A and B are shown apart, each in its own frame.
Chain A
Amino acid sequence: MKIDLRADLNREDDDGLGWALLSGTDRPEIVRPDAALRAGTEKFWSWVRVTSVDEDGQVHFRQITAAEAKASGQLAEAG
């Protein structure tokens, strides 16, 4: 399982969104608003949609379904 963005899915920001650091990816170019990614760890992950990326490298996201990820056109294997 390839994780796009390492994240602790137990935590949330003040708006109730999940968050991670941009340093948690080896492909920072794909971490942009509205991108659908796999976030988490190898054992505990979810599809997420990036909502924003702050200047300090904090990436905010919300969890989405596999169907929504697949519908985004980026994740042929999502289903």
Chain B
Amino acid sequence: MLDARPDDPLGDPVPSCLVTGLMWTSVTTEIVRISMPKQGLRRGEPLPHDAALVLRGDDLDPVLLTEAADENSVICGFYRISVFVEVGGFSWETIASERLVRAEWPALFTVGDFLCAGLELWDTVSTALRCCA
């Protein structure tokens, strides 16, 4: 976990409260800052390879990202942003079509992009994809 705020990995100006670490999930990943969460379960998986794709549904509006990070802080005690990562045999196409089906588009990055930005990926929660429409 880093103490310093890294450069914005997402391309747009991001408030300092947003960034410092990162985490992933069976298919969800989150950018985190300090850990002692209400939502704190980790799967204990090794970090995905650098080329694994990271997705987040919808555009990267700094206002919405700040809002999401603030809400996480209220519940979990630290700032984080959730993203999805290609792990567990799920391709980004599967994740986009089953988990982010309502998003106008997914924002795509690689695990390496996040690591190079000084962020940390945490493997959190969910176990299976669900299809919603």
Inter-subunit contact A41/B64 (CB<8 Å): yes
**Interface presence of B118 (CB below 8 A):** no
Interface of B is mostly: loop
By the criterion CB–CB under 8 Å, are A10 and B39 in contact?
Answer: no
B49-77 near A? 1/0 per residue, CB < 8 Å: 00000001111000010011001101100
Give the size category of B's interface with A.
20 to 34
Q: A43-B58, A43-B59, A58-B75 are in contact. Are A12 and B126 (CB under 8 A)?
A: yes
Does A11 contact B102, Cβ atoms closer than 8 Å? no
Given the interface contacts A58-B75, A63-B132, A65-B132, does A12 sit within 8 Å of B125 by beta carbon?
A: yes
Interface set of B (CB-CB < 8 Å, partner A)? 25, 28, 30, 38-41, 56-59, 64, 67-68, 71-72, 74-75, 81-84, 100, 102-104, 124-128, 130, 132-133
